[in-house]
Amino acid sequence: MIIKDMCVFALGDNKENAVKVQQGEILEFHTRDCFNNQIDSEDYVMDVLDWDHINPATGPVYVEGAEKGDVLKVEILDIKLDDMGTMCCLPENGVLGADITENQIKKVPVKDDKAIFNQFELPLNPMIGVIGVAPENESVPCGTPGRHGGNMDNTKIAKGATLYLPVFHDGAYFGCGDVHACMGDGEIMVSGIEIGAVVSVRLTVLKGVSIDNPRLEDAENIYTIASSEDIEKAIYTATKDMCGILQKNLGYTLNEAGMLMSAAGNLQFCQVVDPERTVRMAIPKTICDKVL
């Protein structure tokens, strides 16, 4: 099924118009870039950007059979990019915000599996910035990450990966958007190479398991993901969640699981520039291949 021409700017909005979808069917989400496709050239004047309508997530979809307390399994089957990306920098935004004196927009062509940034041909890492379900309580703007997913800007949410999200409402109300042609961990200037895309996913509902925060797996690793205004809290939560996975699946004590993470786990930044910061803890699948 193709999902297009419908989007929300806060996850949890517009539940009443959600499209009903079946588990197991392949869904193609046509996504706009994080600027809602408003920036059409490098001469665009940022002052006219409609900031109330940014970070659109295509959706929501109501997943038949999903009930509060379940886990929504999201297999990312493919990400097809448009051919032109956009970056920007803005005073007061990002790690160097205090040093930026003027706005700049950069258009970045994408072709032959490369992003053309000045003289550099950057390898692509197509990834989904905003992906999630309706949050537990009120709607959350798509620019903010949280336990429901949202703007996690995680470079590992890419083709071939499987994301696991807590379900807070019957139907889950899943949506996604904000694809990047590539992005570095941290997303320090607040934009990756922002681009429209077609994202293909398969959704499955898992019963009898529940999680507090998003989890992820790819070919090499399992990951816990956590977001907080205070990055130290996000680090604690991602580490504690992974500790729980290792204790449960390896039969380890907290001490043993902690030492194993300290020896072989990798704590990594997703983004450090959104209203809440997002980190992940990675453990190689050679150590534990179960993420639940």
What single letter denotes the amino acid at residue 67?
Answer: E
Nearest approach, Cβ of residue 192 and Zn ion (Å): 5
Closest to 158 measured CA to CA, from 238, 268, 78: 78
- What is the rounded distance in angstroms from the CA atom of residue 106 to the CA atom of residue 71? 39
**Furthest-apart CA atoms within the chain: distance in Å:** 58
Nearest approach, Cβ of residue 62 and Zn ion (Å): 25
Task: Single out the residue of 85, 94, 126, 129 in contact with Zn ion (rule: CB under 5 A).
Answer: 129
Task: Single out the residue of 7, 34, 115, 161 in contact with Zn ion (rule: CB under 5 A).
Answer: 34
The Cα-based distances of 80 to 20, 84, 150, 195, 230 in angstroms read 24, 12, 20, 10, 34
Nearest approach, Cβ of residue 68 and Zn ion (Å): 29
Task: Single out the residue of 13, 178, 274, 276 in contact with Zn ion (rule: CB under 5 A).
Answer: 178
Report the interface residues with Ca ion, using CB under 5 A. Answer: 129, 151, 153, 178
The Cα-based distances of 72 to 157, 197, 205, 263, 282 in angstroms read 15, 22, 5, 31, 20
184: CB partners within 8 A, 6+ apart: 155, 192
Nearest approach, Cβ of residue 84 and Zn ion (Å): 15
| Using rule CB under 5 A, residue 274 touches Zn ion | no
- What is the rounded distance in angstroms from the CA atom of residue 176 to the CA atom of residue 178? 7
Q: Rank residues 59 and 129 by Cβ distance to Ca ion and give the closer one.
A: 129
Q: Rank residues 182 and 261 by Cβ distance to Ca ion and give the closer one.
A: 182
> For Zn ion, how many residues bind (rule: CB under 5 A)?
4
Nearest approach, Cβ of residue 129 and Zn ion (Å): 4
| Using rule CB under 5 A, residue 110 touches Zn ion | no
| Using rule CB under 5 A, residue 197 touches Zn ion | no
Q: Binds 33, which of Ca ion, Zn ion, none (CB < 5 to 8 A, cut-off by type)? A: none
User: Residue of minimal CB distance from Ca ion?
Assistant: 129
Q: Is 19 left (phi over 0), alpha (psi -120 to 50) or beta?
A: beta
Residues that bind Zn ion (CB under 5 A): 34, 129, 178, 194
